[in-house]
Amino acid sequence: MNSTPLLILGSNSPRRKEILKEAGYHFSTMTLDIDENYPDSLPKKSIAQFLSEVKNKAYRQSLVDEVLITADTTVIVNDQSLEKARNSKEAVAMLEKLSDSFHEVVTGYCISNGQKTRSNFVKTTVHFKKLSRREIDHYIEVYQPFDKAGAYGIQEWIGMIGISKIEGSYFNVVGLPIFEISEDLKKFGIDPYRSIKRKKSS
């Protein structure tokens, strides 16, 4: 009988874990401290895919034939890549840049099993209304968005009251383009249907 390969998510992001879980996948997680530097000459839209491949290579060293997913998300506005804010001052500056404008969220992902590797990136355009300083301060104080690229989470309060439109995948902005990943996982012999436990009819 064929067995489904073990799926590993190389990430400690609660959002990525939740998306993969809600999509019906059974998986384990691994976390490593990865050097996330990248060449200055790298195009901004290529950063996320580059870093997802760097992470995959690092995690792959301790695995055999398990299927590994790694990902990275960047926020790009006016050809500037916004990293994670280190403090409230940086978070305010980032949200002020995103206010009354649009930006691109790019998530790169890399899937490997020791024999083959598949990497890709997905782009979504996000439009913000003009945010008041009171709204920005409230969001930062209550939600502490210091673990998120661009200092915001679309699934949080700021997304509900501040985002007027998105063009592309919502889940990509959350941190994992699950449609594209699920299509690629099939090529590695993994699909969520094998993980779903069907209820017995009474």
Active site residues: 72
d(CA 149, CA 154): 11
What single-letter DSSP state applies at residue 117?
Answer: E
Vertex 172 angle, CA 155 and 9, to 5°: 100
Quote the CA–CA distance of 199 and 182 in Å, as a whole number. Answer: 23
Question: In degrees to the nearest 10, what's the CA dihedral of 150, 154, 157, 163?
Answer: 90
At 124, phi and psi to the nearest 5? -130, 140
Structure tokens at 5: 């390969």
